[in-house]
Structure 1
Amino acid sequence: MSTLPLSVLDLVTVTEDTTTPQALQRAITLAKAADELGYQRYWVAEHHNMPAVASTSPAVIIAALGAHTDRIRVGSGGVMLPNHAPYVVAEQFALLEGLYPNRIDLGIGRAPGTDQRTAQALRRGPDALGVEEFPQHVLELMSWLGDTRLEEPMSATLAATPKPETYPDVWLLGSSAYSAQLAGMLGLRYCYAHHFGQMDEVSVMEAYRARFEPSPVLAEPYAMIATSVITAADTDRAEYLAGPAKHMALALRTNRLTPVISPETAVERGLSPLDEQMMGHLPATKFVGTPESVKARLQSLVDRTGVQELMLAATTYDVGTRIGTLRDVRSMGLQQG
């Protein structure tokens, strides 16, 4: 057995006491810590029109993260492709790869990452860049990034960069069997969003591997699972630090988003019995507790799913809490199955 590679997913959250510029600086601080701790990759999400999330343009943030880190791969978790013309994304990530060769990941998602009104504003029309064409758009995008499987692609006459030398690693992201099966059929790396997905994680990974076909970019299945983790020296402290995540999750489900509140504010507001019941079915943070208690459960998740990599996500009020969790999980010595 070998040590499991670890990675980070960040929404670049805005808290009740910070501005967007401060949130971006915190993301840089977190990325530098992940780099120093030996994490494999650092991804930023794409969300729009959300007061708690500053991560609206992954390519812009990735450029900044690459400049402030030395070794870690930086990328998108992910670019919501229905919001963008494939050629635009290809140009952005070809440029990023030119800036930071062999350090760029392009994670692609099918969801809009926002509400329908905002999605329409992004796409400049209700029918533009629909999800129905998603598989074709993925292949078109990849054709500009070195993939040669499409017949007569636009990349034959329209280049994303004049002389590409290396290409980003492309991942398909999702929380459904559809995304897993599509990743397998296209022969792409796959990341399952366990931190908010409601499907059985083992079934999703089985669907990915069952449909996998070798491709020009990947000979064998490669899967990662993203889950949410908050650790602390004792269980009560960990639950206290997870309070902001619970309230953010509830606000998302009731369309009443605000910047991330502090743990103290979360305690003051409390949770109703109905809120507690909802959190029981859809926990805002999947793994909360001491490093000792969390380690066995994380290892079980890895063993059950057979993933080659684990990505850590969490909503916290301060960057120190996340860095502490990254340090704790790094010291666990989780093993590949």
Structure 2
Amino acid sequence: MASNQVNGDLKLSILDLATMYNGESATQTLQSSTDLVQLADCLGYTRYWFAEHHNTKHQMSTSPDVLSAHAAAVTKNIHIGSGGIMLPNHSPLKVAENFSLLEALHPGRIDLGIGRAPGTDGLTALALRRSREAVTTYDFPEQLDELLSFLTHDFPNDHPFKNITPSPDKGLIPDIYMLGSSDGGMQFASHYGLGFVFAAHISPQLAVPMLRAYRKNFNPSAFMQEPNSVLSLIVIAAETEEEAEYLAGPAELQWVRWGTGAFHHAPPTLEEASSHRYTAQEEAVRQENKGRFVVGNVGNVAEKLKKLATEAMVDEIMILDMLTEKNSRHKSYELLADAFNLKS
């Protein structure tokens, strides 16, 4: 398991949505993800996760298990996994089979991050789950129980799935994390003794209290003996404040569009973002979004991240990658790796 020491060396990780920037093709976008995970592996980043989103025009992150298989095959040391598998869309047995298989292929390097949301709209959720009852019924607690029991081969004796074997090897258990942007994910993580990743880019005001509550309420388990928590948010570092603000423009504009109901625009380019004139409504949303981002020269960014980590009682920051330019993206991660001595 990863280290659980709080206030030690801060670890950095990456969350990839496989977004198609600047008119890229799907193949170009996935090649960019491949290049970035290989760079992150060389720079000393702790883990690299893929999200699960469906029915999106500009994201290729539909299948984090498939992307994880590819990323693990082209790297050597970095942990690879899902941020997350949206469990309501899947059979717990199939998730257990897939991630046991990944763990067998890449021992000690596979993470299973689990989410409770569908990661899509209602109609697409229906297409994924194939019944209206599955869409309207909230049975996540039962799903999670099944998944964990499949992974540990430990159903109660009277359970109908007792004799189903997801893998011949009982030791093939990835590191398991709950994702959350509210108290729901925190409660599951602390109750079951799982890792916990809080999405501060979704609910920045809840990040510190939820991450602190997780540590306070954590129950040791067969999965983790000590709490293991991660704070996720958007981080953009550059050599100067001015460059960082410029590079953050597209992400800021995209979040403003999402906040005002404009979901179907292509991701903004740097030029589009720099020339955009915000309306009063958009500017208000833009200011509300400031807590989702840490932007600036690398020295200031490093200090802000250390402060956030201390407040939230975490020893790891997961960066949601939203830089539109490949060179600037790589430079940002290189600067952060140097600032935090990730290779040491």
- Is the pair's TM-score, using the shorter chain for normalization, greater than 0.5? yes
How far does residue 230 in structure 1 lie from its aligned partner after superposition? 0.5
Indicate which of 242, 258, 281 corresponds to 2:265. 258
- Aligned counterparts, 1:162-311, within 5 A: 162-253=168-259, 254-283=261-290, 285-311=292-318
- Aligned counterparts, 1:85-100, within 5 A: 85-100=91-106
**How has the CA–CA distance of structure 1 residues 27 and 151 changed in structure 2, closer, same or farther, with 3 Å as cutoff?**
farther
Structure 1 gap segments, 5+ residues each: none
Q: When the two structures are superposed, what TM-score results if normalisation uses the length of structure 1?
A: 0.93
Q: Which amino acid aligns with 2:313?
A: G
Question: Any runs of at least 4 consecutive aligned residues in structure 1 with deviations exceeding 6 A, and if so which?
Answer: none
> Counterpart of 1:40?
46
* Deviates most, 321-330 or 177-186: 321-330
1:255-278 Cα deviation digits (max 9, x unpaired): 432332210122233322321210
SS at 2:108 equivalent: coil
Distance in structure 2 (CA, Å) of the matches to 1:82 and 1:280: 33
Q: Which amino acid aligns with 1:50?
A: T
Instruction: Check whether the contact 1:85–1:129 (CA below 8 A) recurs between aligned residues.
Output: no
Aligned residues: 335
> Counterpart of 1:325?
332
Distance in structure 1 (CA, Å) of the matches to 2:201 and 2:137: 23
> Counterpart of 2:3?
none
How far does residue 91 in structure 1 lie from its aligned partner after superposition? 1.3
Indicate which of 105, 115, 124 corresponds to 2:130. 124
1:26 paired to 2:32: yes
Instruction: Check whether the contact 1:37–1:330 (CA below 8 A) recurs between aligned residues.
Output: yes
Distance in structure 2 (CA, Å) of the matches to 1:27 and 1:107: 19
Distance in structure 1 (CA, Å) of the matches to 2:301 and 2:100: 39
> Counterpart of 2:165?
159
1:55 paired to 2:61: yes
1:120-141 Cα deviation digits (max 9, x unpaired): 1111122216672212211211
SS at 1:204 equivalent: helix
Instruction: Check whether the contact 2:156–2:162 (CA below 8 A) recurs between aligned residues.
Output: no
- Aligned counterparts, 1:65-80, within 5 A: 65-80=71-86
Percent identity over paired residues: 37
1:82 paired to 2:88: yes
1:38-93 Cα deviation digits (max 9, x unpaired): 11110000011112211000011111101111111100000110111111111111
1:142 paired to 2:160: no
Distance in structure 2 (CA, Å) of the matches to 1:192 and 1:264: 32
Instruction: Check whether the contact 1:147–1:217 (CA below 8 A) recurs between aligned residues.
Output: no
Q: Which amino acid aligns with 2:173?
A: Y
SS at 2:19 equivalent: coil
Indicate which of 76, 84, 107 corresponds to 1:101. 107
Distance in structure 2 (CA, Å) of the matches to 1:154 and 1:24: 41
Distance in structure 1 (CA, Å) of the matches to 2:195 and 2:155: 16
Instruction: Check whether the contact 1:4–1:334 (CA below 8 A) recurs between aligned residues.
Output: no
> Counterpart of 2:4?
none
Instruction: Check whether the contact 1:139–1:150 (CA below 8 A) recurs between aligned residues.
Output: no
**How has the CA–CA distance of structure 1 residues 282 and 159 changed in structure 2, closer, same or farther, with 3 Å as cutoff?**
same
SS at 1:215 equivalent: coil
Instruction: Check whether the contact 1:295–1:334 (CA below 8 A) recurs between aligned residues.
Output: no
SS at 1:242 equivalent: helix
1:96-152 Cα deviation digits (max 9, x unpaired): 112111111000000111111111111112221667221221121112212637564
Instruction: Check whether the contact 1:149–1:216 (CA below 8 A) recurs between aligned residues.
Output: no
Q: CA RMSD in A?
A: 2.0
Distance in structure 1 (CA, Å) of the matches to 2:157 and 2:231: 33
Q: Which amino acid aligns with 2:237?
A: T
Distance in structure 1 (CA, Å) of the matches to 2:216 and 2:292: 29
Instruction: Check whether the contact 2:212–2:313 (CA below 8 A) recurs between aligned residues.
Output: no
Distance in structure 2 (CA, Å) of the matches to 1:11 and 1:87: 25
SS at 1:113 equivalent: coil
SS at 2:31 equivalent: helix
Instruction: Check whether the contact 1:183–1:212 (CA below 8 A) recurs between aligned residues.
Output: yes
Instruction: Check whether the contact 2:177–2:196 (CA below 8 A) recurs between aligned residues.
Output: yes
